[in-house]
Amino acid sequence: MNKQKFLKELEKRLAILSEAERNDTINEYRDIIEEKVKHGKTEEEAVREFGSIDELTKEILTAYKIDPEYQTKQEGKDQTKGFVETTEDLIKKGAQKISEVANEVAESVTNSNTFTTENVIHIVFKIFFILLGLAILKIPFSMISEIGESIFEIHFLPFSRALQIIWKVLIEFAYLIICIFVVITYVKKYFNSQDTEEQIYSKRQENNLDRKIQIKKKIDSNKNASDNIFITLIKIFICAFIFFPICCINFGLILALAFVIYLIYKGVSMLGILLTLVGILIIGFEFCHMIYNVLFIGKKHHFLSLIIGFIITLVGLVSTIDYVMGFTFYNELPNDKFTTKTITYEEQITVPTSIMNNDVKVIVDSTLEDNFAKFEVTYYDENNASVEKRFYKMDEQNDLYFDIEHQNRSFNWNRDINEKLIDQLKTKEIYNYDLLNQVQVKVYVNDHTKDFIQ
């Protein structure tokens, strides 16, 4: 009998002991065997020296003051056990199993030794991937469910409703079972894929929380093929949803950086923004590099450049805030370049009228006649812009809208504006260029006509 077989057999025979005691015993015997092997004996020899396993079990159980015959008696009883008891046992065992698995998960999470970035990323993406897989799995199930329901609706008319519900419940149940099965399989596989020695250690830890054990992380040589496929899929997933987007962001940042450098070349002092962009770029590239290392090389990454990136970003942000706070905002356009122009319209107002512009003032002027309104429309006359007056007539009501028309907006116009913007950035002034698209409307009416203006 080799070590593994012997320990398994012993574990089986000591099933009557509490799990902690049993593991303790097994561990002790394992240690002894391992020591013997270290001193030149074979596993078989070491096991043989323990004498017959029957005798051994008896002695161990006696040491615990347990009647060694108890188990054989119990086995006889088991056979006569009723169905109900058996199912009860089954449920108990299931619950035990689940709590065991939960314990193991909790342990591996709390165990700081295995808490490397690599492992965390690995676990998180495994979980994410399982959830994703289950979500995708839901699609065929709901399709089957829908098809079944429509078939029932057409062909089994009197009972269709009941059959549909039964069908739906069945499908949902099947889906649920498959979900549970998949999750359990993967959880099991995850723990099995870890080195057996590590498992033993973690089991020991269960019993002796005070044990401080250095878990040597060994790469499992016999990882099975499906696990490899799984890892590949995770890698693809990370590439598609994290790596690629970050690369795109980096590209965008490079463009922004180029623009900022252009502005600095033009004489705008945007050092803070430049620093911020450089810092974020460093972080972005380092992050890409880190993911690449973890995914394809399995190397740990130095965080130094990330920290440098963060510091540069922080300094940049502070000076950017300082720079931005120095700006003055004017809710107008520079007077030297843009002049306002005012047009007046005179209108008969005989039906209720809404004026749809943003900036409307109604002024009462009793000298005016009834049903008569005078509109004063003010706008920035920029490259011969003009204002179009538009009536939208509806039943019993008018909508009036003054729309600005820029006749000569061209590439040149944009270039002019850009030049102005750059000049203003230098002098730390910001003007509200949106006003170019707005018109100011003043309506003069008498008291009677005022009621028509809404």
Partner 1 sequence: MVMRGDSINTQFKKGVLEMIVLLCVSKKDMYGYELIEEVSKVVDVNDGTIYPLLKRLTNEKYAETYLEESTEGPPRKYYKITVLGQARLEELKESWSTFADSVGKFIKESSKK
Which residues here bind partner 1, judged by CB under 8 A?
25, 27-29, 31-32, 34-36, 38, 49-51, 55-56, 59-60, 62-64, 200-201, 204, 208, 210-213
Considering the complex, state which of residue 10 and residue 282 has its C-beta at the smaller distance from partner 1: 10
The minimum distance between CB 42 and partner 1, in angstroms, equals: 14
The minimum distance between CB 43 and partner 1, in angstroms, equals: 13
Answer yes or no: are the C-beta atoms of 345 and 379 closer than 8 Å.
no
The minimum distance between CB 57 and partner 1, in angstroms, equals: 9
Element (DSSP H or E) covering residue 160 = helix 160-193
Considering the complex, state which of residue 27 and residue 305 has its C-beta at the smaller distance from partner 1: 27
431: left (phi over 0), alpha (psi -120 to 50) or beta: beta
Considering the complex, state which of residue 38 and residue 155 has its C-beta at the smaller distance from partner 1: 38
Residues 6 or more apart in contact with residue 74 via CB below 8 angstroms: 16
Q: Compute the distance between CA of residue 9 and CA of residue 19 in angstroms, rounded to an integer.
A: 15
The minimum distance between CB 114 and partner 1, in angstroms, equals: 16
The minimum distance between CB 113 and partner 1, in angstroms, equals: 14
Considering the complex, state which of residue 213 and residue 248 has its C-beta at the smaller distance from partner 1: 213
Considering the complex, state which of residue 19 and residue 35 has its C-beta at the smaller distance from partner 1: 35
Considering the complex, state which of residue 24 and residue 118 has its C-beta at the smaller distance from partner 1: 24
Q: Alpha helix locations (H) across 267-337? A: 271-292, 304-325
The minimum distance between CB 112 and partner 1, in angstroms, equals: 17
CB environment 273-287: b (16+ within 10 A), e (fewer): bbbbbbbbbbbbbbb
Q: Compute the distance between CA of residue 295 and CA of residue 244 in angstroms, rounded to an integer.
A: 14
The minimum distance between CB 56 and partner 1, in angstroms, equals: 4
Q: Compute the distance between CA of residue 294 and CA of residue 208 in angstroms, rounded to an integer.
A: 33
Answer yes or no: are the C-beta atoms of 370 and 347 closer than 8 Å.
no
Q: Compute the distance between CA of residue 435 and CA of residue 316 in angstroms, rounded to an integer.
A: 32
- Radius of gyration in angstroms for the set of CA atoms belonging to the chain, rounded to a whole number: 40
Residue 41: phi, psi to the nearest 5? -90, 160
Considering the complex, state which of residue 81 and residue 216 has its C-beta at the smaller distance from partner 1: 216
Considering the complex, state which of residue 147 and residue 213 has its C-beta at the smaller distance from partner 1: 213
The minimum distance between CB 50 and partner 1, in angstroms, equals: 3
Q: Compute the distance between CA of residue 329 and CA of residue 454 in angstroms, rounded to an integer.
A: 32
